[in-house]
Amino acid sequence: MKVRKTQGAILCPGCKRLIDADEPECPHCGLKHPGMFGFGHVFAKLFGGKTDLVAGILITCVALYGASLALDWKHIGFGGMFSLLSPSGAALYTFGMTGGDAWRLGHWWTMTTATFLHGGLIHLAFNMLWLRLLGPTVMLEMGPARFIVAFVLTGITGALVGNLYGVMSQGVPYPSIGASGAVFGLMGVLITFGRRRGGAWGRQLSRKMAAWALIAFVFGFVMPNVNNAAHFGGALGGIILGYLLPRFDRAREGATVQIFAIILLVGSALGMIASIIQMWPRYFG
């Protein structure tokens, strides 16, 4: 199959109706460049319900956890329950942990990469469970590309607030990893989205997400080595996005949001490559 498809029939990403791939504008819904310059069929497979994006993120996090264990297997931690099978700091910095040495070296991109890394088996399991619970609802209500945007951006706001809090409290941010900032971000998105949506379902969704977020916040204060500032930053970013992102049934996803989602994913991957290039010689050279 050709990567680019500039001829033939495709489904418009806006209205899901059959159109020519080279149409400058969808004749049904008016979406500009519905063929996305030849990549419309690829975007349709990725964001058209044929790909389980939640499972994709989950698999990525599990694979990176395994890679971080394998990279420095001689220094795997076997401490208490929350540090069981924990990768070494050197391995986590190599793949993109934020705060600490990364912050001192000016590796700002780690505020994206840290979301996909985890510091132990329990840490990974908790975050992946929450992701599997919350992700499908966000995709159903807002769309798959908007789910990616919400996940990555709230992970960034969580890491940013966590780093800034560390600077204010001790002069340098704590080393920080994990998808929990993005998980709180998805809760925040659904809290405000539910209020905007209204009706019995919207009110129920908003109340349930608020209760879950409160319980998770309290749980974070009793668990060791938890960056609650990052949780707050993720939730705050999600609350803001919940007001900005439209409903999927009223505003189908067009080229702009799908391309933005791709940029965020590619940017995260490039950030991880940059961390490997910068940190591998420092710790394993």
Other CB atoms within a 10 A radius of the CB of residue 284 amount to 12
Same domain, 119 and 41: no
205 and 146: one domain?
yes
Closest CA to 134 of 68, 75, 182, 203: 182
Do 257 and 243 reside in the same domain of the chain? yes
Q: Is residue 135 part of a domain?
A: yes
Contact of 257 with 143, CB cutoff 8 Å: yes
Domain count, the chain: 2
Is the domain of 103 the same as that of 21? Answer: no
Residue 1 lies in a domain: no
Q: What whole-number distance in Å separates Cα of residue 151 and Cα of residue 137? A: 13
Question: What pLDDT, on the 0 to 100 scale, is given for residue 1?
Answer: 44
Q: CB of 23 within 8 A of CB of 35?
A: yes
pLDDT at residue number 32: 65
- Mean pLDDT, 10 residues at a time, the chain of 285 residues: 59 69 72 61 69 94 97 87 86 96 94 96 94 94 93 97 91 90 97 89 93 90 84 96 79 80 96 96 89
21 and 36 together in one domain: yes
The one-letter code for the residue type at 204 is Q
Domain CATH number, residue 138:
1.20.1540.10
List the domain range (segments joined by +) for residue 87.
53-284
Q: Is residue 3 part of a domain?
A: no
Are residues 67 and 160 located together in one domain of the fold?
Answer: yes
Backbone angles phi, psi at 239, to 5 degrees: -60, -40
d(CA 282, CA 285): 6
Q: What are phi and psi of 25, to 5 degrees?
A: -155, 135
So what's the pLDDT on residue 236?
A: 96
